Each structure stands twice: as structure tokens, then as C-alpha cells.
Amino acid sequence: MKKIRTRFAPSPTGYMHIGNLRTALFSYLIAKHDNGDFILRIEDTDQNREVKGALNFIYSVLKDTHLEYDEGPDKPGKYGPYIQSERLPIYKEYADKLVDLGGAHYCFCSEEDIQAQREAAEKKGKGFKFVDPCHHISVEEARKRIAAGEKYVVRQTIPAEGITSFDDAVHGHIEVENSTLDEQILLKSDGFPTYNFANVIDDHLMEINCVIRGNEYISSTPKYNLIYKAFNWDIPMYVHCPPVMKSQTQKLSKRNGDASYNDLIEKGYISDAILNYLALLGWAPEDNEEIFTMDELIKRFKIERINASPAIFDQDKLGWMNGEYLKRMPLEKFHELAMPWYKKVLTRDVDLRELSMLLQTRILFFAEITGYDKKVLNEGAEEATVEHVPSIVDFIENTLEFNPELYRHKKMKTTPENSLEALYWVKERMEAFDNYSDDEALTQMFIDLAAEKGVKNGRVMWPARVALSNKASTPGGCAEIAHILGKEESLRRIDQAIKDLQNALNA
């Protein structure tokens, strides 16, 4: 059995889309599961779509995700060059050979000729399929016209009759009538190949024997196979992966606020968690386990476990998984990763390590520390709207407005009136207490205070929590908040809350 060789062949057209990264991951896992080679090839033949700097995006994402390729533009092997725009003479050579073999022909039709056929089909109410009048031109005559400087393209020649079939590892046996296939352009007039030609030539010359790509290419695969057969080349194994969708009916779309890999990293998701989640989009292990290291994925990833059904990208599920990664990392690592986010929003001198201990099990991704814009696509809307999610630690800067209604809590049996009473108790006890670095001791102080006053814990702790934060929801309770803020700032806030409550009740 030949060594498995897979490839990831992105176009340098911007940030790495989630679907593209999933394809790279599957290609890597399939190769490495069988100790094969994983190749990076840059498909830049559509020069109009190329984005400056996008090649560096590709390199950095693959490095960041540890999808280490064995050969590529910056890791030369014997099959290079690995950038398609550097292979133009190769495509010209094989396009001419394909013409000689009868698998392609030279076409001299103008855009006006093609448009005329399109308009004629529309008038008849028929679907458009270009019928090339250049079929009748002999190869010798065509090459004389080319030598004379006439503009041309190379088009694939499709048999008028018969069936082209292939087997796909995910979708099974597929048959297509040749009469339904259009004769696509293989080599453009500017000398650049189309994707539909270049990918076949490169896959063969680079000995790629397992092609992993999205299922949107299933309809084009019969045309690719006709090229393989014309050259009498071996056809690779095909693995057409299910699409990554936003919902059962909506594709992932940047316009609708769907994230690229870079967007997710900028929001503070962990690279390993993103890769782990993407592995489960269209693939399922043999048990219900969901958290895997890369080595575990390589060991367990099998082509036959890839699903044919669309994979739904659920950002809430990704958030849960990322949260699991955060919980499992050492506290010192979490604290190190959190520090740049603290610096963006916090100016007060507070106990940041205590804050990390508090947040590690409570946040799903680091942008929750700073607050972030969340894009929401409402039912029936064409474009996403933006909702701002406030910082989970915004209470630390003490910029939130006082609201007496926050002290009203049905379950805790608190009102603004009895909360004011409780805050006087709290102030007295906190002034006499010094061990603010011990959460357990702080918590016990509040519990003892409630017991002494003959009330439930919530009658004391809820007013203290609101007074310290001006919020009803915080990542920790009154003891943890007091620890983070320290004695001086905590007492200052209790004093201010007492004044604000008194003024509100007297108004």
C-alpha cells in the first residue's frame, strides 16, 4: 500500500475561514493516522481575489494550530514549487498534452459569443450550457491561429454520451451523465489555469492519493476524473466532507457575523479548543468522549466515522468546550493568559491572582473580561445586528450607576429598606475584620454576622454583594469581591452604598 499523501490547498484571499481550517485539520489527521505526509499547496491562480498578506495568515494559523506540514512553499520537497503561480509552464505543458489526447480543445470564442448563447437559452426558457463551436477546428489549425497571436483558452472536451462514476469515502458511489457536464475552461487566456485544472495536475504530480475537500466539489469531480482518465493516471481516494453550517438552512457567512479562526483567537478562545471542536464538526468518535488532545485525535480519527450530513457550527458549544480547556489548565497558565485582558480594562490595584482564581471556572473565553460585541442574526433578518456584552469584571472599576432596585430580591427576602439596615451591620463588622486575603474567613464572617442578627445568610450577603459591585450578577459573591478589592476600597464602597440608599429612600 502506498504511503498516504494528503494536501491542504487554500487560496490567499483573507483570514482562515472555519470551514477551510476544518478541511486542513481533517487532511492532517487522515495523513498522520497512517503515518502519511501532509502537504501545503497555495492555490493563487485567481490573482484578482488575492489579499495582500494572506499567505502569512495561512502560515501563522497552521503554526498556531500545530498542523505541521511535511512539504510546502517554505518546506521544499521534490514536488515543488508549492505555489501555483510559480507552476504556470507546467499547466501549459499539460494543457497542450490533454488537447493531443482528445481530453481538451482550443477555444477562440469571445465573451460576446458566449453571452449570445446565454441570451438565446433564456429566451427559450432553457438552462444555459455553452456549446462550443470551436470543436470543429483541428488541432493543427488551432495551433496556427495561436502562433499568429490569436487569443484563446483551453476547454475540457466532455463526451456527449455515457456516464462518469466515482466512489467517495463519505457519500458512496456517485454516477453522473456526461451530457449534464459543462465544458469548463482549463487554461485561461492569460496563461493561468483554473482551479478545476490545476488541482488535478498538481495532485497527480505531487502524488496526492487522498483528496479531502468540501462536498461542494462533488459535482465537479466527474470532470476531474475525465482528465485523470485521459492521461491514464490513477484517481485518488475522495473524501468529500459535509459543509459547516450556521443552521440547517444557513451557511456560515462573514456577512452574517460568523467568525474566522482569527476572530475567535481575538476573542480569547484557545487554539487547542478550537481544533478539538472543529474535529467534531462532521466526525464522531466511537464513544461519547468530546475532549481530545491532538495525539488522541490522530490515533482515533477514521475516515469511516465522517458523516455525510451538514455539520452545525454552534458557538455556544464551542464556548463550553473552550471553558473546559480553561478549567483544566494550571492556574498560573490561566493567569498568564488573562493578564493582557486585565490590562485592557483594569486600572485599580486589586488582587489579580485572586481574580484569576475566581474567573478560571466561570468564563468561557477571555473577551468576557473586557466585554465584546456579539453579532446576532435574528430570524428573517438578512444581516446580523451587534449587541454589546459588558465586561464580567466591570464592577471593579466602580463606574456602574447606583440602582436601589438591585437590593430588592425576592428569594433573599431583601428590600432597599432592610438592605440599608444590613449594610450598617456589614460596615461595622468589616471595619473590625482584617484577614481580607482569606475567602473562607471572609465568608464565615458574613455567615456569623447573619446568625448573630437572626436572619438568613442572603439578608446580609446580598446587600453586601450589590454594595460592593453595583451589580446583581458577579463572578463571585461578596467575600470574593471584598478579597479582590481589599479592605480600604471595600469599606469605601459600603459607605457610598449606605449614603446612596439613604438618599433614595428619603427622596
- Indicate which residues carry an active-site annotation: 254
Retrieve residue 208's grid coordinates: 496526492
Length of the chain: 507
Omega into 81 within 30° of 0, i.e. cis?
yes
Amino acid at 482: A
CB-neighbour burial class of residue 143 (10 A; exposed 0-12, middle 13-18, buried 19+): middle
Q: Which set of grid coordinates corresponds to residue 339? A: 493578564
What amino acid occupies position 432? Answer: A
What does the alpha-carbon distance between residue 18 and residue 260 come to, in Å, rounded to a whole number?
5
Helix or strand holding residue 237 (H, E): strand 237-241
Contact in structure between 26 and 241 (CB atoms under 8 Å): yes
d(CA 298, CA 130): 45
Question: Helices 487-506 and 457-469: crossing angle, nearest 10°?
Answer: 100
d(CA 105, CA 183): 10
Torsion of CA 391, 396, 401, 405, to 10 degrees: 90
Cα–Cα distance for residue pair 119/185, rounded to 1 Å: 20
DSSP SS3 for 108: coil
Cβ–Cβ < 8 Å for 171, 218: yes
What residues does 156 pair with on adjacent strands? 104
For the chain, the maximum distance between any two Cα atoms, rounded to a whole number of angstroms, is 105
CA 386 vs CA 372, 377, 444: distances in Å: 10, 9, 43
